[in-house]
């Protein structure tokens, strides 16, 4: 009887240790999805335009399959192992703050109660440009405030878009800091996350972001975000106009 009890205790200790080791070995993997324009009538020559129909399918897939849409702070705490990871996390990001987000994407996100992030180029707020066949309009301040009060975080995409990674420290500080001031004035919330224009970074750019207390900066590409990813060059998975629900689910699961 004594030997039997000892055996049970030994097995219990083994199982407990195995469970702890399995938990410790579980790696953090979070898909960070990057969108640009969600259009009812897409320009097929524009990689970054996807159809509203496709977007609806993708968001429905996330909802039906139990995904948790993260806030930026939740994402940061997960990849730095300050918080546990839900079974199916995803961070939804959108670049450019174009009007199609307000008209097309935002109602779907709100329908499902999803968190998402809009990266705003602040000098472009309320402006428009382009040809008569494809006019690009940027949300105005009132539209940004509307979405920003409903689970959409407005974060930093610089004051100006362009190939800015190799500008001087002073100029980068002006552009990043100016966008922070503008967005914090709009939202009355801290702005601590950044998306590199064109996904382009540099050592100097990283140093500037750190000096302005940016917590995470996102690039383009690179697969899944993990606990070993560089916080100042965090990967994102581009969703483009050649994707369908099959490639979307593959990217969501594998990062590629």
Domains of the chain, each with CATH number or no CATH: 29-254 (3.20.20.370)
Say if residues 215 and 232 touch (Cβ distance below 8 Å): no
Return the minimum-mean-pLDDT range out of 6-15, 32-41, 131-140, 202-211: 6-15
Q: Is the pLDDT of residue 22 over 90?
A: no
Where do we find the tokens 């930026």? 72
Q: What is the pTM (predicted TM-score) of this model? A: 0.89
The three-state secondary structure class of 158 is coil
Q: What is the pLDDT of residues 125-137, one digit of tens each?
A: 999 988 877 899 9
pLDDT tier for residue 26 given thresholds of 50, 70 and 90: low
pLDDT tier for residue 99 given thresholds of 50, 70 and 90: very high
232-242 in b/e form (b: 16+ CB < 10 A) is bbbbbbbbebe
Q: Read out DSSP for 86-147?
A: PSSEEEEEEES-BHHIIIIIHHHHHHHT--EEEEE-GGGTT-EEEETTEEEEB--HHHHHHH
Q: Is the pLDDT of residue 17 over 70?
A: no
Say if residues 227 and 80 touch (Cβ distance below 8 Å): yes
Average of per-residue pLDDT values in the chain: 91
Nearest residue to 56 (alpha-carbon basis) of 112, 99, 102 = 112
- Residue 213 has phi, psi (to 5 degrees) of 65, 30
C-alpha distances in Å from residue 9, one per residue of 13, 17, 208: 6, 12, 56
CA distance 128 to 138: 6
pLDDT tier for residue 5 given thresholds of 50, 70 and 90: very low
Q: Is the pLDDT of residue 50 over 90?
A: yes
Joined together, the tokens standing for residue 84 give 């546990």
CA distance 144 to 188: 12
Residues making up the chain, counted from first to last: 256
The three-state secondary structure class of 234 is strand
Say if residues 214 and 191 touch (Cβ distance below 8 Å): no
C-alpha distances in Å from residue 27, one per residue of 23, 141, 170, 192, 234: 9, 40, 39, 25, 16
Helix, strand, coil % in the chain, rounded to nearest 5: 45, 20, 35
Strands 128-131 and 134-137: antiparallel
pLDDT given at position 107:
98
What stretches of the chain adopt beta strand conformation (E)? 29-30, 32-35, 37-39, 49-51, 68-69, 89-95, 116-120, 128-131, 134-137, 152-156, 193-195, 216-218, 225-226, 237-238
């Amino acid at each position: 009887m004594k030997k039997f009890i000892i055996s049970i205790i030994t097995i219990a200790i083994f199982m407990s240790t195995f469970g702890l080791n399995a938990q410790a070995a579980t790696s953090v993997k979070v898909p960070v999805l990057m969108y640009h324009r969600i259009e009812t009538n897409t320009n097929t020559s524009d990689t970054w335009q996807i159809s509203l129909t496709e977007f609806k399918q993708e968001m429905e897939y996330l909802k039906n399959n139990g995904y948790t849409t993260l806030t930026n702070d939740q994402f940061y705490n997960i990849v730095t192992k300050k918080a546990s990871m839900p079974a199916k996390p995803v961070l939804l990001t959108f670049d450019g703050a174009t009007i199609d987000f307000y008209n097309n994407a935002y109602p779907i996100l709100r329908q499902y109660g999803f968190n998402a992030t809009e990266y705003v180029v602040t000098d472009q707020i309320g402006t428009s440009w382009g040809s008569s066949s494809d006019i690009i309009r940027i949300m105005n301040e009132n539209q940004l405030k509307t979405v920003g009060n409903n689970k959409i975080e407005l974060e930093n995409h610089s004051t100006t878009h362009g190939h800015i990674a190799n500008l001087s420290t002073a100029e980068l500080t002006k552009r990043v800091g100016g966008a922070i001031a503008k967005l914090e004035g709009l939202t009355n919330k801290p702005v601590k996350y950044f998306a590199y224009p064109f996904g382009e970074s540099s050592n100097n750019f990283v140093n500037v972001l750190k000096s302005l207390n940016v917590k995470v900066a996102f690039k383009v590409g690179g697969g899944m975000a993990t606990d070993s990813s560089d916080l100042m060059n965090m990967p994102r998975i581009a969703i483009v106009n050649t994707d369908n629900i099959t490639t979307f689910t593959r990217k969501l699961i594998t990062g590629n």
